[in-house]
């Protein structure tokens, strides 16, 4: 049997040597190789062919013309694993199994997936019908069996380090995972009504209700208990989180904070300045608020909570970025001001003359990378965290993604990728460099990068145990 497979672009190939008992997955794999494409969906007379069916069962006959459509997949990332899904399609995972890298136990349920959220060691997928499928470490949110009957009509999921919180269509909330760190919301369950959005730090959650009030739960010392500021938590519009504290912006532009005082939970020293706040950026243990172009900081002074040394320069600011221990403020004139831990990017003196015409800034755990209007890039901070890009050629940079210790830049109209930083964290992409073209988006775990190219092909690099090797799912991809 021979069939003819064609793409919408007009490209076509013929696949011969087929039999009625040949599976659709085998035909699909042949077509993918012929076209040099990633995941394809095959259609006969407008009907999708199931990968596990035989050609005979699917009604395919000798000489048939079969349409092929490239599936534009998306990636989600936990700490040491990736999950790949096609919107309204299937999903699968790879990486460290105890961090969500093995979805085989729920593979039959992973269809019609709309979005995926991740804690550090688990994933949660929302399906078209509003139900939820979870996998990964059971104590970190990978086991939702205790609340499965409640996980219906879910529209959004948020994750802390080791728990999940799902908002349902009626504004109620369902939680699961590590009980003491946000997986158990029974203490405030009756208050979780009319919830519009949820924010999370490492160990706690904060939910904004439709009336602008806030409900919190999780580790009480890290923001799970907001009782001492509950009367102030009204007309709240948005919430930001450091590792162990929260900061809420109210409708009148004032700010309310709670959580660990040394990590930004106590803003009393800066409270008088926190008016007309437009946005807040959180670092690991400090916050920086933009108040109509001026900046107010608080939290751990060594991690960016003290900006007094550069305060006079912090005017005309329109964007703030953070590493774990430092901040970088982008001003309207394209210059950059930095403060905080110098080893984590708080000192940009060595590259200050180059920080002109900057349009956006990205950060790893301990370094910054700035994209300039001319498409070049400037990096600073700890060299082992990506703070030195002098050994790579960066031109026409469009966007940058980061693991903990490395950067990956998408360059030029062809979507080529340039990487730098700590090699085990994805800073060395030489093994897959020829494949890194046609890239439009990159996702990252802690120590690996992954991308689905324009043609649908999946490319990964970095630490294999953190998702840097996707070879284990090649056979599964043929079944999509």
What are the structure tokens assigned to 284, written together?
A: 């690991």
Q: Which of 277, 336, 280 has its CA nearest to residue 305?
A: 280
12 falls within a domain: yes
Q: Are 414 and 438 in contact (CB under 8 A)?
A: yes
Domain total in the chain: 2
Cβ-Cβ contacts under 8 Å for 186 (sequence gap 6 or more) = none
263 falls within a domain: no
Largest interatomic CA distance in the chain: 79
Tens of pLDDT, residue by residue over 188-219, are: 999 999 999 999 999 999 999 999 999 999 99
Do residues 82 and 178 share a domain?
yes
**Per-residue pLDDT at 201:** 97
Note the Cα 142 to chain centre separation in Å.
Answer: 18
- Write down which residue in 138, 156, 184 finishes a domain: 184
Q: Are 91 and 100 in contact (CB under 8 A)?
A: no
CA pseudo-torsion sign 49, 54, 57, 59: positive
456 falls within a domain: no
Task: Kindly report the CATH number assigned to the domain that includes residue 58.
Answer: 3.10.20.90
Q: Which residues of the chain fall short of a pLDDT of 50?
A: none
Give residue for tokens 């405030």.
Answer: 188
**Per-residue pLDDT at 478:** 63
Do residues 98 and 156 share a domain?
yes
Give residue for tokens 């700890």.
Answer: 382
230 falls within a domain: no
**Distance (Å, rounded) from C-alpha 444 to C-alpha 55?**
38
**Per-residue pLDDT at 418:** 98
**Per-residue pLDDT at 271:** 95
Do residues 41 and 82 share a domain?
no
Do residues 77 and 18 share a domain?
no
CA atoms within 13 A on the CB side of 105: 14
Q: Measured at the alpha carbon of residue 306, what is the angle toward residues 305 and 312, in degrees to the nearest 5?
A: 130
What separation in angstroms does the CA of 54 have from each of 31, 58, 128? Answer: 16, 6, 27
CA pseudo-torsion sign 224, 227, 232, 234: positive
**Distance (Å, rounded) from C-alpha 229 to C-alpha 404?**
34
Tens of pLDDT, residue by residue over 437-463, are: 999 999 999 999 999 998 888 999 999
446 falls within a domain: no
**Per-residue pLDDT at 28:** 86
**Per-residue pLDDT at 35:** 84
**Per-residue pLDDT at 52:** 81
Domain extent at residue 56: 3-70
Q: Is 17 exposed, middle or buried (0-12, 13-18, 19+ CB in 10 A)?
A: exposed
What are the structure tokens assigned to 366, written together?
A: 């301990």
Do residues 63 and 78 share a domain?
no
**Per-residue pLDDT at 380:** 98
345 falls within a domain: no
**Per-residue pLDDT at 479:** 60
Task: Kindly report the CATH number assigned to the domain that includes residue 120.
Answer: 2.130.10.30
Do residues 117 and 48 share a domain?
no
Q: Which of 377, 411, 370 has its CA nearest to residue 391?
A: 377
Write out the H or E segment, with its range, that includes residue 153.
none
- Write down which residue in 70, 101, 116 finishes a domain: 70
19 falls within a domain: yes
């Amino acid at each position: 049997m021979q069939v003819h497979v064609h793409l919408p672009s007009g490209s076509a190939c013929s696949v011969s040597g087929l039999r009625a008992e040949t599976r659709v997955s085998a035909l699909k794999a042949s077509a993918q190789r012929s076209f040099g494409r990633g995941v394809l969906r095959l259609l006969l007379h407008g009907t999708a062919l199931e990968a596990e069916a035989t050609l005979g069962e699917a009604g395919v006959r000798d000489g048939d013309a079969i349409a092929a459509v490239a599936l534009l997949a998306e990636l989600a990332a936990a700490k040491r694993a990736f999950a790949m899904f096609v919107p309204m399609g299937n999903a699968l995972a790879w990486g460290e199994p105890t961090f969500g890298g093995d979805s085989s136990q729920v593979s039959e349920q992973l269809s019609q997936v709309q979005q995926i959220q991740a804690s550090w060691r688990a994933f949660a997928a929302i399906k078209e019908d509003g139900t939820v499928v979870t996998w990964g470490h059971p104590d970190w949110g990978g086991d939702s069996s205790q609340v499965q009957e409640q996980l219906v009509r879910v529209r959004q999921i948020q994750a802390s380090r080791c728990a999940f919180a799902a908002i349902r269509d009626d504004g109620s909330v369902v939680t699961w995972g590590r009980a003491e760190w946000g997986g158990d919301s029974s203490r405030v369950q009756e208050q979780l009504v009319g919830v519009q959005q949820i924010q999370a730090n490492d160990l706690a959650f904060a939910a904004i209700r439709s009336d602008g009030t806030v409900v919190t739960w999780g580790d009480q010392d890290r923001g799970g208990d907001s009782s001492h500021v509950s009367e102030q938590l009204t007309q709240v519009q948005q919430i930001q989180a450091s590792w162990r504290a929260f900061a809420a912006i109210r409708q009148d532009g004032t700010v309310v904070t709670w959580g660990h005082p040394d990590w930004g939970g106590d803003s009393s020293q800066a409270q008088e300045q926190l008016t007309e706040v437009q946005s807040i950026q959180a670092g690991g243990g400090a916050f920086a608020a933009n108040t109509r172009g001026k900046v107010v900081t608080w939290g751990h002074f060594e991690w960016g909570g003290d900006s007094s040394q550069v305060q006079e320069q912090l005017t005309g600011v329109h964007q703030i970025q953070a590493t774990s221990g430092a901040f970088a403020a982008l001003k309207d004139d394209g210059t950059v001001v930095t403060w905080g831990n110098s080893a984590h990017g708080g000192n940009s003196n060595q590259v200050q003359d180059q920080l002109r015409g900057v349009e956006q800034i990205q950060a790893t755990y301990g370094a910054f990378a700035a994209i300039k209007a001319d498409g070049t890039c400037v990096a600073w901070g700890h060299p082992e965290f990506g703070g030195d890009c002098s050994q790579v050629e960066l031109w026409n940079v469009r966007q940058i993604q980061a693991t903990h210790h490395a950067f990956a830049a998408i360059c030029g109209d062809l979507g080529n990728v340039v990487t730098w930083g700590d090699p085990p964290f994805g800073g060395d992409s030489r093994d897959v460099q020829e494949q890194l073209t046609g890239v439009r988006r990159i996702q990252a775990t802690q120590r690996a990068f992954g991308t689905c190219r324009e043609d649908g092909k999946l490319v990964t690099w970095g630490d294999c145990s953190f998702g840097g090797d996707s070879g284990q799912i090649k056979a599964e991809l043929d079944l999509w």
